[in-house]
Amino acid sequence: MTQSWLKMTACELGRGIDNGSISPIALVKTYLEAIRNHPLNNDIYARISSERALKEANAAEIRAKTNNRLSLLDGVPISWKDLFDSKGINTEAGSMLLSGRIPESDAVVLDNATQAGLVCLGKTHMSELAFSGLGLNPMTKTTPCVNNLDAVSGGSSSGAAGSVAFNLASIGIGSDTGGSVRVPAAWNDLVGLKTTSQDISLKGVVPLCPKFDTIGPLCRSVEDAAVIYSILKNQNFTPIKKPSSLQLMRLEGISEEDIETAPLTAFDDACAKISKTDITIIKHKFPVLEKLLSLAGIIYTVEAYEVWGELLEKEGKKMYPEILSRFMAGKNFTQNEYKNAWSSISSIRADWMNFTQEFDAVILPTSPILPPNKTKLLSDSSYYKRANLLALRNTRIGNMLGLCSITLPTSQPSCGFMIMGAPFSELKLLNIASKIEKDII
């Protein structure tokens, strides 16, 4: 019976605790035992916080018995990407550069989750300092894809995805700077929510590119994403309300260039399934997307180098060369080039809002490629670079445009269906995703 808990959504677990059919203590012990016995546990979790988890579960059990639960997810165990500060527990952001770093307090979002009664199982592996969409980390551990153990799981929230996909957490909390929630969610058949920049507090989160860093969950359902989203923001949950009709824009052009057969077939199939009388899909291209994406090489690397350059100049040898080179590229651009790039981005963002204002949301394949082979990534630099750029190409559109976005699983393994909404329209986006999530599988 308890093993079935591992495959339930977080909200199903929460309702089970609420009606007395699930004990928070038994639940966390089931998860901890599953983690200990799983052959890939060390490739998914960087650290297990057993003592904290048991203490939090015990408190949740008392609240459940006295009808004092703090939220629907009070007593539900979740995992945290290893860039969220956790008091007294190493937080190293997947990098040898931060080895032994122990925060004195929890990140704001971890504190918010704790105040809502969620149970912290531990910290999950990730790409070094979150600067890769592949999840390959030869310096610490590489989490495999649930659909292909020889392939990477996607990054940089690789272990976050693995913890849920391999049934070792009900939700994984990750971060998304260029696709780091949505790529691993898509490749592991999960729901992944990318929030708008500055929508959720980044206090206590190891930074990469401050203007683009965002926080979001990887989970099994849109409902889970909606509930945990409210908790991370420390706001009351707004119940999902499915819209009666939708007008969606299918983004064509660069988002479907160099796309592999499986992701395109899955996306076409999903579009066909939801093209009903109450859902209209209209195809459009946005001509300046190529220019927008060409600016990412300036903006991202300059911001990342400003944050980490000084340390990397001294200790860069501790980092995987492929990721190190991305950081170091940031010193090749002038501040004037950076400023001009931002000016262009602001103009394109305004044009996008005008271009898409008649649509409820924009849809496109989450990633144009399937999870790449780990061994080939390690041995072939050109393969690594191409895979990394393609993995993040479609997701990065949303980051560059300042949008919120969500990926849903489809009928094809490791192929995601992505929906992009206007900035700070997360609640509307979640409502839209809820309307179509069951129909596209």
How far apart CA 210 and CA 151 sit, in angstroms, is: 30
Greatest CA separation for the chain: 62
User: CB neighbours (10 Å) of residue 394?
Assistant: 30
End-to-end CA distance of the chain: 27
Q: Which of 143, 165, 344, 363 is nearest to 248 (CA)?
A: 363
Helices in 188-288 by DSSP H: which ranges? 222-232, 261-274
Give the catalytic positions in this structure: 81, 156, 180
- Tell the burial category of 103 from Cβ atoms under 10 Å away from its Cβ (0-12, 13-18, 19+): middle
- Pairing label, strands 404-409, 416-421: antiparallel
CB 240 within 8 Å of CB 226: yes
Q: For the CA atoms of 120, 126, 130, 133, what is the dihedral angle to 10 degrees? A: -130
The string of DSSP codes covering 57-109 is: HHHHHHHHHTT--SSTTTT-EEEEETTB-BTTB---TT-GGGTT---SS--HH
